[in-house]
Structure 1
Amino acid sequence: MDFISTFQSGGFSMYILLICFIMVLVIAGERYKYYKSVKVNNEDFIEQLKIILKQKNWKYAMELCKSDESLISAVAETGIESLINKKANISAAIEARSAVVIANLKRNLNFLDTMVMIAPIIGLLGTVLNIMASLNEKVEQTSGIGVIIAGALSSTAFGLFIAASSIVILSYFNYRLEKMTNEIGEISNMLNSQTLKNDEK
């Protein structure tokens, strides 16, 4: 009951913030489900691919990529296919595939970044509007003013809570994104080095 009273005392901005918080949770759940479906620890795959590329066994390399079924292997498969078909601009093919993979990993994360900035502002705006509204009313006791201000500040507190939650969630996904981006970069360098060796011949 106290929670409901505190929530209602925050005014209309609390409902806006509640919608924002629900959206943060929905996006966090969707991203977690997506990232969970994607292989994160690709060290074994990368090490195996290094050995195979040194042996220039392109057929086995393709089989390894297809059997792995990860985002990293999809990038590698694009590069190896370009090597097999002796395409002129292999780097461009790898970069194009990498861009699609990274874009999928980043999807909706910008909303969390926006919530970090906008949630405290909405909360603060709600507090200011509530205090302004209370000043237009006659409050006979000093304690009454304290209750009104405490209720008004609840919107600021909720806004800060949403921002803090968004930061934690965003940091987690950015960590995983950076890890996968580095692995994609490593794969790209490996395949580009093979291209240079072929060009030298």
Structure 2
Amino acid sequence: MRDLLELFQLGGFVLPILILLAIVSLAIVGNRFWVLRRARIAPADLAARAGDLIEAGKVQQAVKVLYENDTPLARMMLVALQQVGQPREVIKEVVEESGRHEVAHLDRYLNFLGSIAGVAPLLGLLGTVFGIMHAFAAIGMVGAGDPKALAGGISEALITTASGLIVAIPSLMFYRYFKGRVDVLVLAIEKEALKLVNLLVGGGAQ
């Protein structure tokens, strides 16, 4: 504990900021892992249940099933059902527009996570600059012959540089991972919703 406190003090004013960013980054990662589960986005049996009801002519029951499942897939399928009687291209366009709105919801916090990945190394660099400034200030006061006088500034420079990278690298990796996951999930729910479009226009599921 004492070593951690000393490390915290050596990091200067930049280190607490980086620690705060690390905590925020972890919170976003945890939240996105919870939210971007396939079961929360596109339940496995939802499209099949709704499609079977529609094929049986039980459209109102299908609507009820979708309303009871407040998921992106259910919302997109409801949008499609609201366009019954419209040409296929019109329904498809409305579904794709709904998909774009769902992307915005699924992308929530990811831009901030990407910003952390970009800002953390810059903060580390800022801490490095201040550490070097402190080291040169020590040289000016006691000369270059006393290594202890330089240790504080050099430690600050190294600690903040390393901390910035430690925060940035995982944040960037998770940002890229979640962006890709959102794209995969949205394509999956659009595919299921478009199958429903085919049913609505009498083309059959493809």
TM-score range, shorter chain: 0.7 to 0.9
* C-alpha contact 2:42 2:189 (8 A) present in aligned 1: no
Q: Tell me which of 165, 181, 191 is aligned to 1:160.
A: 165
State the SS of the aligned residue for 2:114.
helix
Unaligned runs of 5+ residues in structure 2 are none
Q: What is the correspondence of 1:1-201 to structure 2 with a 5 Å cutoff?
A: 1-32=2-33, 34-35=35-36, 39-40=40-41, 42-55=43-56, 57-83=58-84, 86-87=85-86, 89-138=90-139, 139-142=144-147, 144-146=149-151, 148-171=153-176, 173-174=178-179, 176-194=181-199, 197=202
CA distance in structure 1 between the aligned counterparts of 2:181 and 2:51, rounded to whole angstroms = 23
Unaligned runs of 5+ residues in structure 1 are none
Q: 1:11 to 1:147 in 2, by over 3 A?
A: closer
* C-alpha contact 1:90 1:195 (8 A) present in aligned 2: no
1:124-170 superposed Cα distances (whole Å, 9 cap, x missing partner): 22112211221121353336535642332100111111113313543
CA distance in structure 2 between the aligned counterparts of 1:98 and 1:40, rounded to whole angstroms = 12
CA distance in structure 2 between the aligned counterparts of 1:162 and 1:23, rounded to whole angstroms = 10
* C-alpha contact 2:51 2:196 (8 A) present in aligned 1: no
Larger mean Cα displacement after TM superposition, 52-61 or 125-134: 52-61
Counterpart of 2:59 in structure 1: which amino acid? Answer: W
CA distance in structure 1 between the aligned counterparts of 2:41 and 2:75, rounded to whole angstroms = 14
% same residue: 25
Q: CA deviation at 1:98?
A: 1.9
State the SS of the aligned residue for 2:45.
helix
Instruction: Number of aligned residue pairs: give it.
Output: 196
State the SS of the aligned residue for 1:190.
helix
CA distance in structure 2 between the aligned counterparts of 1:162 and 1:45, rounded to whole angstroms = 39
CA distance in structure 2 between the aligned counterparts of 1:167 and 1:47, rounded to whole angstroms = 37
Q: CA deviation at 1:176?
A: 4.3
State the SS of the aligned residue for 1:43.
coil
CA distance in structure 2 between the aligned counterparts of 1:80 and 1:56, rounded to whole angstroms = 13
* C-alpha contact 1:116 1:167 (8 A) present in aligned 2: yes
Q: CA deviation at 1:113?
A: 0.9
State the SS of the aligned residue for 1:22.
helix
CA distance in structure 2 between the aligned counterparts of 1:180 and 1:132, rounded to whole angstroms = 49
CA distance in structure 2 between the aligned counterparts of 1:45 and 1:99, rounded to whole angstroms = 21
* C-alpha contact 1:40 1:176 (8 A) present in aligned 2: no
Q: CA deviation at 1:57?
A: 4.0
